[in-house]
């Protein structure tokens, strides 16, 4: 089976063109290819498929095989793949993910996509829709006890769940220890992605992330969007913010009039390969 290894700010996935390839058990395949010793090595698997309501469908799986509704770094790489590999010649495309259609603008240099702007849609803060168990109308700076320490969480969905925590120093976060404790906390019926944010100034934040189903990744596009909206809800930043991640930078813009978030960032192809799928 042919695949392409790509990344957005170091958040790397194995991409399979399902217009050509057949994938019988995607959760199993994601676990296999994601293993960084016995497989290809990635944060998960992304299948590119036809769609009845958009130009393409993105079907995304975390390293543990769990399916997610949306992947920000992944959808930028899907855009790069379909343009660079000739599945489209359009520079404005639509991609369906988790049932919702996203609009993407492709920045092409020398015939290849280098950067993509994605309309990531409306941030969701209603607890029942994130989902997070809470009797509040919004979970903004609410206390949560993790490993004997009380953290303040702000919860936002970008189609997938995020708990945003503000810290003084992201390097000091013991992410391997507390990340899983947030991910599997009982208040998150579908688990959660958790972002640890240090606000540098009103236009810049520093972010680390423990992803649902993949552990710490070098970047998280939906997490960056959720984090910027959490900053705005808490009054920490303006509406346009540069998010500094371990693997690179994303530009996030909140459009107040449209109540919509836009993400701009890179997409990189690393290599093409062939996998022996027995």
Ligand X SMILES: N[C@H](CCC[C@H](N)C(=O)O)C(=O)O
Specify binding-site residues for substrate. 11, 62, 72-73, 160, 193, 211-212, 221-222
Asked if residue 157 binds ligand X (CB under 6 A), the reply is no
Rounded distance, CA 97 to CA 93, Å?
Answer: 13
Is there a catalytic annotation at residue 71? yes
**Angle at which helices 72-84 and 221-233 cross, to 10°:** 140
Pick the stretch among 30-38, 102-110, 139-147, 215-223 that binds ligand X (CB under 6 A).
215-223
* Spatial CA neighbour of 181 closest among 148, 218, 222: 148
Unique residue bearing structure tokens 């404790």? 181
Dig out the tokens for 112 from the structure.
Answer: 């290849």
CB of 52 to ligand X, least distance (A): 23
CB of 109 to ligand X, least distance (A): 22
Angle at 59 between CA 208 and CA 7, to 5 degrees: 45
Return the exposure string of 190-205: e unless at least 16 CB atoms fall within 10 Å of the residue's CB, then b: ebbbbbbbbbeeeeeb
Residues 221-260 within binding reach of ligand X (CB under 6 A): 221-223
Smaller CB separation from ligand X, 74 or 121:
74
* Spatial CA neighbour of 121 closest among 92, 159, 64: 159
CB of 20 to ligand X, least distance (A): 24
Residues 178-207 within binding reach of ligand X (CB under 6 A): 193
CB of 223 to ligand X, least distance (A): 6
Pick the stretch among 104-112, 118-126, 145-153, 212-220 that binds ligand X (CB under 6 A).
212-220
- Greatest extent of the chain over all pairs of C-alpha atoms, in Å: 54
Size of the site for ligand X (CB under 6 A): 18
Q: Which of 71, 77, 225, 231 is catalytic?
A: 71
Binding mask 20-59 for ligand X (x = CB under 6 A): ----------------------------------------
Is there a catalytic annotation at residue 225? no
Q: Is 111 exposed, middle or buried (0-12, 13-18, 19+ CB in 10 A)?
A: exposed
Q: Which of 9, 220, 225, 231 is catalytic?
A: 220
Rounded distance, CA 19 to CA 22, Å?
Answer: 8
**Contact footprint for ligand X (CB under 6 A):** 11, 62, 68, 71-74, 160, 193, 211-214, 217, 220-223
Positions marked active-site: 71, 220
């Amino acid at each position: 089976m042919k695949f392409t290894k790509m990344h957005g700010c170091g958040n790397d996935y194995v991409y399979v063109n399902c217009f050509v390839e057949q994938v019988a058990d995607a959760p199993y395949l994601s676990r296999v290819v994601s293993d960084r010793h016995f497989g290809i090595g990635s944060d998960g698997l992304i299948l590119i498929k036809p769609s009845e309501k958009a130009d393409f469908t993105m079907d995304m799986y975390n390293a543990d095989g769990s399916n997610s509704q949306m992947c920000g770094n992944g959808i930028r790489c899907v855009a790069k793949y379909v343009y660079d590999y000739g599945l489209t010649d359009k520079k404005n495309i639509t991609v369906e993910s988790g049932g919702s259609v996203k609009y993407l603008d492709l920045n092409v240099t020398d015939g290849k996509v280098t950067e993509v702007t994605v309309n990531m849609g409306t941030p969701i803060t209603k607890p029942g829709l994130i989902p997070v168990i809470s009797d509040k109308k919004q979970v903004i700076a609410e206390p949560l006890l993790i490993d004997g320490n009380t953290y303040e969480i702000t919860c936002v969905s970008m189609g997938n769940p995020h708990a945003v925590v503000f810290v003084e120093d992201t390097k000091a976060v013991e992410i391997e220890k507390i990340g899983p404790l947030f991910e599997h906390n009982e208040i998150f019926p579908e688990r959660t992605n958790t972002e640890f944010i240090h606000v540098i100034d009103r236009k810049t934040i520093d972010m680390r992330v423990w992803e649902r189903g993949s552990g710490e990744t070098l970047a998280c596009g939906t997490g960056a969007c959720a984090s910027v909206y959490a900053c705005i809800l808490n009054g920490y930043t303006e509406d346009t913010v540069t998010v500094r991640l371990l693997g690179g930078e994303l530009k996030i813009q909140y459009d107040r009039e449209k109540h919509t978030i836009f993400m701009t960032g890179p997409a990189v192809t690393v290599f093409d390969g062939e996998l022996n799928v027995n």
